[in-house]
Structure 1
């Protein structure tokens, strides 16, 4: 199939064509979260199975997506958008908090979002891996956005005198890898700790990166 089927236009049941299309798309994404994020997983899901789970037809699937990979790509972006918005909302309300408090707010918001549903963790850290060069590029692009956020917080902390003034991109990239690995291992049951303990450890690690060595790291 070279392109999507054309969706119908006009109003039906009090909803416009655009509203019905958005609703169908969300139903497919919700079904994908269930099937990709749990059993059977992305690689074992068919278009027919996803359509049935969404309560829609395969024709409607092809009106919204070309392939199941398109669905996984959209779902991966959605899960990341939820987490990013949670962090931005939390930071917007952080005001003039100290660096340790601000970092704690950041990570509690992120962890609360990605662990709100274990299937979100699987989409973010498992199902997206190794699917295609296109999805790998998307995964790394979203990781880069998190690196940018950490670097922005580091620059702001340095301007306040709370962090060493240096280029933090390499350290932030390494740190984001630690975040992903630890949360994945915790969700898989390989880390014997509570979520709060995991977040506290991540806070300590980031403060250790940001704080000048001669100033130490305050308790978090």
Structure 2
């Protein structure tokens, strides 16, 4: 009965079929970071061009992905995952600190990770936009995770008397939009400031949300 050939399952060159498959996938994702995050961008990249950049065949591409959109989706999740891991690693350092210092440590960890490679910013903030309803849903879902993180931290600060008690969801969503826009503009060279200056400004904005004018720390909860 005719059908799609099965991938080999034995060991070859000292590596299992699963290891070889993971390596191929990694090579496609690395090539996509270069092409989607740099030139020519997602919309101008073909399967043939991506396969060539990865040093693999188009047949091998279709063994790993169905479409280029699948590659962009995987890469977008990976870029966000790297940033989440950087913030999670910073929590140990930030845990005992006062609010402003805590926010600064956590946000600097995020900003440094995202801006460590301009291609990551392009994947997270530019190439993902407007591709399809599916990717828009994924983008909004990942943004919602960041909003939830800010709300969790804000509510914990409010419970300690370090921030004003309120529903932070709308403010957190607005703040994430500011973060995305400013970091993108800074990475593109449109903002004449150091990364520390950018982080400081965004932290000031967030602290202003947490501690509005007229609110007194330790006041009524």
Using the size of structure 1 for normalisation, the TM-score is: 0.94
> 1:87 maps to what in 2?
87
> In the aligned structure 2, how far is the partner of 1:5 from the partner of 1:196?
53
> 2:144 maps to what in 1?
144
| Stretch deviating more after TM superposition (88-97 or 38-47) | 88-97
Which segments of 5 or more consecutive residues in structure 1 lack a partner in the other structure? none
> In the aligned structure 1, how far is the partner of 2:127 from the partner of 2:7?
29
| Stretch deviating more after TM superposition (11-20 or 176-185) | 11-20
> In the aligned structure 2, how far is the partner of 1:216 from the partner of 1:44?
53
Which segments of 5 or more consecutive residues in structure 2 lack a partner in the other structure? none
1:3-42 to 2 correspondences below 5 Å: 6-42=6-42
> 2:157 maps to what in 1?
157
Q: Secondary structure at the match of 2:95?
A: coil
Cα RMSD, aligned residues only: 1.4
> 1:214 maps to what in 2?
214
> 2:203 maps to what in 1?
203
> 1:71 maps to what in 2?
71
> In the aligned structure 2, how far is the partner of 1:5 from the partner of 1:144?
40
> In the aligned structure 2, how far is the partner of 1:118 from the partner of 1:5?
39
Asked if 1 retains the 8 angstrom alpha-carbon contact of 2:35 and 2:42, the reply is: yes
> 2:102 maps to what in 1?
102
Asked if 2 retains the 8 angstrom alpha-carbon contact of 1:8 and 1:17, the reply is: yes
Larger radius of gyration: 2
Asked if 2 retains the 8 angstrom alpha-carbon contact of 1:5 and 1:62, the reply is: no
- Provide, for residues 74-127 of structure 1, a one-character-per-residue CA deviation record: whole Å limited to 9, x for no partner: 000000000011011101332210000110011110111111100000001110
- Provide, for residues 39-72 of structure 1, a one-character-per-residue CA deviation record: whole Å limited to 9, x for no partner: 1110111111101111111111001000000000
- How far residue 134 of structure 1 moved from its aligned partner, in angstroms, is 0.4
Asked if 1 retains the 8 angstrom alpha-carbon contact of 2:94 and 2:106, the reply is: no
- Provide, for residues 8-33 of structure 1, a one-character-per-residue CA deviation record: whole Å limited to 9, x for no partner: 21111111111111111111000000
> In the aligned structure 2, how far is the partner of 1:193 from the partner of 1:78?
28
> In the aligned structure 1, how far is the partner of 2:29 from the partner of 2:183?
23
- Indicate how the Cα distance of structure 1 residues 174 and 17 shifts in structure 2: closer, same or farther if over 3 A, else same: same
Using the size of structure 2 for normalisation, the TM-score is: 0.93
- Indicate how the Cα distance of structure 1 residues 58 and 194 shifts in structure 2: closer, same or farther if over 3 A, else same: same
